[in-house]
Amino acid sequence: MRVQVNARNRGYQFDAAPGEKLLYAGLRAGIDLPYECGTGTCGTCKAKAVTGRLRDGWPQAPGRKYVKPEQGEFLMCQCAAEEDVTLEVAKFVYAADPGACVPAACAGTLRQAAMLTHDVMSFSVELDQPCDFDAGQFVVVAAPGVEGYRAYSMVNFERDTRQLDFLVKKKTDGGISEWLFSAGRDGARLELFGPLGKATFYPDLGKNILCIAGGSGVAGMMSILQRAVQERYFEQHQGWLFFGVRTMRDAFYLRELSAFRGHFPGKLAITVALSDEDVPGSAANDWPALAFARGLVHEVAKQAMAGNYQGLRAYVAGPPPAVDAALRVLLLEAKLTADNIRYDKFS
């Protein structure tokens, strides 16, 4: 199917395979169509159909509350073309940056599933073909027998890799959550599309970096820290990570975070914020490389970062309320400009 997209600044044409979501077809063709979640919740990929028939794969998508179907509006991440179509996108759309990793469909095998806490697990996907992604990016994943895609951020960072590492927080009654947390998923085949997302870190950034993660939001931060440590970024710049969990029982990756800090103890500070309990006396002894504080992660970060906001790029990820609270601090307290704030809402 031929797709014509008329954006605010110019037009583009690309091909979409039968059943292929229009967002994924455009991104695969190197056209940077607007999106955030890629999975039907945020409404950012809204477009208007001018000609041609579409099939909506998920008419109940939460993101549909942002569209006016009676005016031909739809979500590009949920709809496929049934014939040649012409669309309007009310935003400026550009070709993908020359050095960017262009997303593509791929597949792989689930390996090394392991529980990190009572409701967080990690697993890897062994890819059929190697791929490149940038630190801080995510892919959308489809599992057998579960309708639709779910977004998960890569934890690792490696160029031309055959392995993607993920961590997943269990969502009660969630389709993939229930599938993944049942025993014996090792060896299952997964379909993926990516890499996606703009909360990316590049070593030529030339700024201090601040990461604020609510729970599983730490996934992409692990990738960013891994790349920054690999590139010895903290020889020149400061780094701060604030990792919010409810209690010590919910914390994970403390060994890996301690190792990151061990490379640059004077330049990288890592604080675990506990929202629902006082910091246990044993925490400082057990994890001497890390700091601990009681409070919501955005509050802990706000207190610790006062006066340190110059020359800074901030990364935020986690549940939407945690991200919104952190964004308020970064915009109103820190007075960072929007281009120095990158975030993923785990909606």
Ligand X SMILES: Cc1cc2nc3c(=O)[nH]c(=O)nc-3n(C[C@H](O)[C@H](O)[C@H](O)COP(=O)(O)OP(=O)(O)OC[C@H]3O[C@@H](n4cnc5c(N)ncnc54)[C@H](O)[C@@H]3O)c2cc1C
192 binds ligand X (CB under 6 A): no
Q: C-beta of 63: minimal distance to ligand FES in Å?
A: 3
Q: Could you count the other beta carbons within 10 Å of the beta carbon of residue 278?
A: 10
Number of residues counted as binding ligand X (CB under 6 A)? 26
Closer CB to ligand X, 58 or 193, in the complex: 58
Residues that bind ligand FES (CB under 6 A): 35-38, 40-45, 63, 75, 77
Would you say 81 and 22 are in contact if contact means Cβ atoms under 8 Å apart?
Answer: yes
C-beta of 35 vs 234, nearer to ligand X: 35
User: In the numeric block, which tokens belong to residue 56?
Assistant: 């909506």
- Which residues 111-150 are close enough to bind ligand X by CB under 6 A? 138, 147-148, 150
* Distance of closest approach, residue 250 Cβ to ligand X, in angstroms: 13
Interface with ligand X (CB under 6 A), residue from 3, 21, 33, 41? 41
3-class secondary structure for 198-213?
Answer: CCCECHHHCCEEEEEE
Least distance CB 39 / ligand FES (angstroms)? 6
Bond before 288 cis per omega within 30 degrees: no
For residue 41, give the nearest of 309, 339, 320 by alpha carbon: 320
Please answer whether residues 113 and 185 qualify as being in contact, where contact means their C-beta atoms are separated by less than 8 angstroms: yes
Q: Out of 27, 33, 87, 151, which residue is the one contacting ligand X (CB under 6 A)?
A: 151
| CB-CB contact of 185 with 152 (8 Å) | no
Q: Which helix (H) or strand (E) holds 173?
A: none
216 binds ligand X (CB under 6 A): yes
Q: Which of 22, 152, 16 is nearest to 76 (CA)?
A: 22
Instruction: Return the residue of 174, 203, 295, 320 that touches ligand X, per CB under 6 A.
Output: 174
Alpha-carbon distance 220 to 166, whole Å?
9
Question: What, of ligand FES, ligand X, none, does residue 174 touch, CB below 5 to 8 Å by kind?
Answer: ligand X
List of residues contacting ligand X (CB under 6 A): 37, 39-41, 58, 138, 147-148, 150-153, 167-169, 171, 174-177, 197, 216, 219, 344, 346-347
